[in-house]
Structure 1
Amino acid sequence: MTLSAFNSAKLPALPPASTEHQNRLYSALNIPLFWGDCTNLDSATELELDFKIEQELVKDEQDSTRSMNAEKWSFQYNNRWAHFLFISRLMSAFMSVVLWHLTFSAVIQGGLLMTAIGVLLSLTALTLFMTTRPSYHISFLTLLGLITTGVVAWNQQTLWGFWQGNPFFIAGCVLFFLAVIGCDLLLALHARFFKHDGSQFNRRTGMVHLAGKRWRKPFVAPFYEFDPVMQVQVMPHGQRDYVLWLYHRYTDKKVCLANRIHSLGLDQNNLRAFWDTLQRYMDVSQPLPDLPVLEPCRQQDPVTAAYDQAQNRPPRYWRDMSERRFKQEVLPRLREQLRNASWPSAPGLIAAHTDSSLSVSDYYRAQQARGIHATPQPQAFERAHPQTAVE
């Protein structure tokens, strides 16, 4: 472990956050979370997903491609290309219906009624695409494609000849392929070769590494310099999901952990539990969270190894657990604990180490003197307005 490692029992004196920073934390749709007072509960949603992945994993236990181990928790690669593929798949599903409708209308010479039907079918395709059952929109698009193909073949007495003279039908088939298979294949290839972008939480150093955009250098700072925020996300069907943001206390740097560290679709209790898990993962005074993905490397962390020995924890607790037992015993018990959990509701750990007389520039000079080097430099804060303590 290094001097910069996060130890909840040995934090340095920290300067107070500015009023502007506090306003960011308490802005619309943001619910600030607090440090310390860990409940030792993990997200049931994340644990279920993790258990399924580990049960299917047949690679060697020391496989270095794992995104999480005893040293670091790497971010999943997330950039505009993945978002572009998602939008492309959405638009392909919509436009394939539009193009097939134009083909169908040209064959039967439909009027205003056919136009209205076409709009309704296109909106239906979008609605089915947004559901959690991919088979719905795949079946719907396949049915429309078969109907259009059948009508064209019956009317023209030859399907191949009509293809050559009507590009709308061919274009619709190409977009259908992209919507059903093509975009998913490209996304899978992208994920295979671009799993991580260098961003990570490092347990041994206690530092958070955020990859720079384009050719910019990465942003690096101690974990305890980030404040957590639970942000409300309003979904297309009106339901609410919650995602975790980390705001750097002394700069304008921030990062969303949704779909990079935690999955989408978390409710408040599961997201609070995830923040609890992240704190315990980074805290070298505590054992690693008891997660399936971390089980193969628990003995590599001295604190965790000592804890497991004292608790007589089976080394293959998760790997030898049956899926039936996990679903019937472990998950229901954890969900009940999450419903009844008492989460921190007031500033605790960080507030207890905040020194209102300490300036940000002096703090970073002290950090550098200890051998802890971060991206923010003390010179950048010398001419800034004094930090204002928030009660």
Structure 2
Amino acid sequence: MTHSDNTAPSAFNSTNLPALPPASTEHQSRLYSTLNIPLFWGDYTNLDSATELELDFEMERELTNHEHDSTRSINNERWAFQHDNKWAHFLYIFQLLSSGFIPMFFLTTLTVELKANIILSGSIIAFMALGNLSAFMMTRPLYHISFMLLTGVVTAATLIWKQQTLWGFWQGHSFFITGCVLFFLAVIGCELLLFLHAYFYQHDGSQFNRRTGMVHLAGKRWRKPFVAPFYEFDPVMQVQVMPHGQRDYVLWLYHRYTDKKVCLANRIHSLGLDQNNLRAFWDTLQRYMDVSQPLPDLPVLEPCRQQDPVTAAYDQAQNRPPRYWRDMSERRFKQEVLPRLREQLRNASWPSGPGLIAAHTDPTLSVADYYRAQQARGIHATPQPQAFEHTHSQAAVE
């Protein structure tokens, strides 16, 4: 199966790769460092991660009525990174802490106003605050919001009763005022800011582009993005040792000729993948970028399969139903499709040698000459030939 004639010269086509210069010794050392397990190119198993497929299926069920929703992170042309911004994490942590502290402020006000036993009241306050924090993390938002609202109303009613007035009872009660402010921020303010953040900053511009074959990595602190062909990145499965001894695996891509690298965990793939699911995800990503292959058969890609010529021709030849995933019942998916895929992943034979990239590596080709040849083909990447003119070692890109 061949790629479409209108694909860019930089498009990744596993049947037609250019000659590539060998990687430096420093780069090889990075790939084989502690906790790193190098992965290999080519030899597709045509298996997808069961974990990712389950998430995709649930997501598509929510988006099924919005087939051309512009908020999708993936379509037939580009797979955008989820935006990983510390501001969003800060808002969530603030909301989490507020949910625990709000009852403490309200109940402390009651303790002072009613002159209750400090030790007993303190124990009750701590218990109720932890309970509300647990409700925030483990139950529906309505439960912990109702609890916070109830403690606030009871505190306000007590102050009204003690002050014998509907107005001005908050004077001198800074704990009560603080609790009210935190309640507003936790229930409305943080949610609004998180919504605005997700709406305007869902993606940071980083993406895998199937049509052009280029990887775009957003620059930090107003730096220009790093752009290079997909086939210039080497995949590594990195072991993540968790606090309780579990092992998760995440996918890193190391650029072969510079010191640029990117972790795809929580930006392209989810956390908590085992080795088989991560290897399958790498297989999926390769097939997504390979214009000689149809798009991976994922629920989130089903609405745009007909927009990709290679995929459309493949689906027609295979007589694939255009709404295969969208018309599938949840029961069938969980009882038939997922168990079968998990069994296939357990029995899969994964690539164990350099394969595709090694077959196209020319040990006589310098990195500078390679990039000059790329530019002559109309492929303009961030690394420039002149950066490699007088060195055979790995060059850093600022």
Give the TM-score, by structure 2 length: 0.83
Alignment of 1:1-391 (within 5 A): 1-59=7-65, 61-100=67-106, 102-107=108-113, 108=115, 110-111=117-118, 133-135=138-140, 139=143, 143=147, 146=150, 150=154, 153-154=157-158, 157-158=161-162, 162-180=169-187, 182-234=189-241, 239-386=246-393
**In structure 2, distance between residues paired with 1:20 and 1:114:** 62
1:37-88 alpha-carbon deviations (Å, 9 max, x no partner)? 2211112222222222222325454444432222211223332322222232
Q: How many residues align?
A: 385
Q: CA deviation at 1:6?
A: 0.7
Q: CA deviation at 1:201?
A: 0.9
Letter in 1 for 2:49: S
Tell me what 2:4 maps to.
none
Letter in 2 for 1:261: I
The 1:124/1:343 distance shift into structure 2, 3 A limit, reads farther
Q: CA deviation at 1:26?
A: 3.5
- Flag structure 1 segments of 5+ consecutive residues without an equivalent: none
**In structure 1, distance between residues paired with 2:185 and 2:39:** 41
Contact 1:247–1:253 under 8 Å retained in 2: yes
The 1:110/1:359 distance shift into structure 2, 3 A limit, reads farther
Q: CA deviation at 1:385?
A: 4.2
Letter in 2 for 1:84: F
Q: What do you get for the CA RMSD once the two structures are aligned?
A: 3.1
What fraction of aligned residue pairs are identical, expressed as a percent? 74
Letter in 1 for 2:12: F
Contact 1:77–1:197 under 8 Å retained in 2: yes
Farther off after superposition, 365-374 or 75-84: 75-84
Contact 1:16–1:387 under 8 Å retained in 2: no
1:124-161 alpha-carbon deviations (Å, 9 max, x no partner)? 666666x5x343x8746754764576467558734866
Q: CA deviation at 1:223?
A: 0.3
SS of match in other structure, 1:209: strand
Q: CA deviation at 1:225?
A: 1.0
Letter in 2 for 1:157: W
Q: CA deviation at 1:97?
A: 4.9
Give the TM-score, by structure 1 length: 0.85
Q: CA deviation at 1:271?
A: 2.1
Letter in 2 for 1:220: V
Letter in 2 for 1:270: N
**In structure 2, distance between residues paired with 1:110 and 1:25:** 62
1:248-288 alpha-carbon deviations (Å, 9 max, x no partner)? 12222222223322233333322222111110000111111
Q: CA deviation at 1:111?
A: 4.5
The 1:316/1:172 distance shift into structure 2, 3 A limit, reads same
Q: CA deviation at 1:20?
A: 2.8
The 1:336/1:109 distance shift into structure 2, 3 A limit, reads same
The 1:179/1:64 distance shift into structure 2, 3 A limit, reads closer
The 1:236/1:189 distance shift into structure 2, 3 A limit, reads farther
Contact 1:221–1:374 under 8 Å retained in 2: yes
1:285-333 alpha-carbon deviations (Å, 9 max, x no partner)? 1111011222222222222122112211112212222222222221221
Letter in 1 for 2:339: P
